[in-house]
Amino acid sequence: MTENKPEIAYLPPGVPPTNHGHTVAAWVTMAGITLGTLISAVGLVLAAGSSAGLVMFVVGLVVVGASLIVGLVLRNLGLGQKTVRR
Task: Supply the pLDDT for residue 63.
Answer: 98
**Cut 0.75: pTM above it:** no
Mean pLDDT value of segment 46-75: 92
15: pLDDT confidence band, cut at 50, 70 and 90? low
Q: How many CB atoms lie within 10 A of CB 36?
A: 20
Distances (CA, A) of 47 to 51, 54, 80, 84: 6, 5, 37, 46
Q: Give domain limits for the chain.
A: 24-79
